[in-house]
Amino acid sequence: MRAPKAFRGLPREVVVLSAVAFSVAVGFGIVAPAIPLFASRFGVGKAAAATVISAFAFMRFVSALGAGRLVDRIGERVCLATGIGVVAASSALAGLASSYSQLLILRGIGGIGSAMFSVGAASLLFRVVPSAQRGRATSLWYGGFLIGGITGPAFGGAIATVSIRAPFFIYAGTLAVAGTIAMVALRSTPLADPADKTAAGRVRLGTALRDPSYRAALAANFADGWAVMGVRSALLPLFVVEGLHRSIVWTGIGFFIVAGVNAAVLLPAGSWADRYGRKPLLVGGLAFSSLSLAVLGIQQTLPGYLVALALLGFGSGLLDVAPAAIVGDVSGGRGGTVVAAFQMSGDAGVVSGPVIAGRLADVTSYGVAFGTTSGVLGAAAVLALFAPETRGRSGTVSSGGGEGVGQVGEQVVDVLDADGEPHQVVGDLER
């Protein structure tokens, strides 16, 4: 049997990690609608119920760098599987929680496991995939999360009506499936050498932060987290009802448009990133996303809302690929803390976006809140304009200092032979 065209020529680990991502996202989509409802059963208010969700995100944020160091110490595969196990166990115990405090603590522990899983999986993906294929591999991996995230909520609400505790056990089950896939299918994948501390091996966070391309990727991930996961999820449902004076049904329609356009552009974006480079997609994704929020701020009508969300879906599809591919290029797949800091930048946007934009909407208007978000995306786009292209780069081997345009140093790059297979070449290159 031939592999699906999208997977042909990619390392087998890409298929495995995409399947793991799907299993994790399906389970999270099932449990997400039940979390605030379950918390409210313990007699707490809306703010306390929402805190259960924030506890997961907060602990994921604060433990990301620790997870990155753990990846550097014990290897990606072990960190990935351990993280999944932590989330699975905490989810099952959360389903048995008999008090609000138990639920809150267990969801926080789940956030730590989530950081271990996501940093480990991304680090492994970046290490095993050469630069010439990194865009396509990233798009397939994010595609697993996207499809799972769309599928899960379709069942989560119905399951929660039968039993409010059942989604937590089902989530634990899908995580068990994901962990089994990872441990069985990745058992022959070599572990990263924890003792490899040479410049040709691990890339340190301080080195990466001196690279303008890495800084642009961090800014893009922060802005994308602020706009897509933060403002879209937290502010748009209120805007539809209070600003557009429409039924909540239009929130679902808008979210479906974003997800549909995002899914349609994801795989082509991966191919474009490998063929034309990361920078055009990075700048384009930020520009389209910024334009979408500007349209939403100016044209506060139903047609404007639908057009804006279509633009947002296109821009976010590009941003699902380009920043992560840049991080893989900069680190060469050899820097757990480099990947962890990238994840933290997105989580920081998710946490701060709803708070700041929500406050602006309260004291001024929705238009100002959306306009500010457009400005955040636009600022990241300007930063991306001045960042060098990273396609073909697999991390600096030796260079007396930081990364940057015009630096001369011995560098590992990926090139394609006549058969289209990637090979690494080491040499003195000026970039």
Return the closest-CA partner of residue 367 out of 224, 226, 235. Answer: 235
Say if residue 265's pLDDT is above 90: yes
Q: What CA–CA distance (Å, rounded) separates 234 from 373?
A: 13
Predicted pLDDT at 197: 45
Say if residue 334's pLDDT is above 90: no
The H or E element containing residue 413 is strand 408-416
Q: What is the mean pLDDT of residues 149-155?
A: 80
Over residues 90-137, the pLDDT tens digits come to 999 999 999 999 999 999 999 999 999 999 999 899 888 888 889 999
Mean pLDDT of the chain, nearest integer: 83
Q: Clarify whether residues 211 and 74 are in a common domain.
A: no
Say if residue 234's pLDDT is above 80: no
Residue 411 belongs to a domain: yes
- The domain boundary residue, chosen from 192, 217, 247: 192
Residue 3 belongs to a domain: no
Q: Clarify whether residues 133 and 274 are in a common domain.
A: no
Over residues 359-418, the pLDDT tens digits come to 888 899 999 999 999 999 999 999 999 999 998 775 443 333 333 333 333 344 444 443
Predicted pLDDT at 394: 53
Q: Clarify whether residues 209 and 97 are in a common domain.
A: no
Q: What CA–CA distance (Å, rounded) separates 290 from 374?
A: 4
Predicted pLDDT at 387: 96
Q: At what angle do helices 100-128 and 46-62 cross, to 10 degrees?
A: 30
Question: How does residue 7 score in pLDDT terms, banded at 50, 70 and 90?
Answer: low
How many domains are there within the chain? Answer: 3
Q: Clarify whether residues 291 and 411 are in a common domain.
A: no
Q: Clarify whether residues 54 and 83 are in a common domain.
A: yes
Q: Clarify whether residues 237 and 337 are in a common domain.
A: yes
Question: How does residue 190 score in pLDDT terms, banded at 50, 70 and 90?
Answer: low
State pTM to two decimals.
0.80
Say if residue 420's pLDDT is above 80: no
Residue 1 belongs to a domain: no
Q: What is the mean pLDDT of residues 74-82?
A: 88
- With beta carbons less than 8 A apart as the criterion, state whether 410 and 416 touch: no
Q: What CA–CA distance (Å, rounded) separates 270 from 422?
A: 16
What does the H/E/C string look like for 314-353? HHHHHHCCHHHHHHHHHHCCCCHHHHHHHHHHHHHHHHHH
Predicted pLDDT at 417: 44
Predicted pLDDT at 204: 86
Predicted pLDDT at 85: 94
- With beta carbons less than 8 A apart as the criterion, state whether 203 and 330 touch: yes
On the 0-12 / 13-18 / 19+ scale of CB atoms within 10 A, 327 is buried
Domain that includes residue 420, residue range: 396-430
- The domain boundary residue, chosen from 192, 225, 259: 192
Predicted pLDDT at 389: 95
Say if residue 158's pLDDT is above 70: yes
Which residues on adjacent β-strands are paired with residue 408?
430
Q: Clarify whether residues 224 and 185 are in a common domain.
A: no
Cα distances (angstroms) measured from residue 184 to each of 178, 210, 267, 309: 10, 38, 27, 40
Residue 184 belongs to a domain: yes
First-to-last CA distance in the chain?
Answer: 42
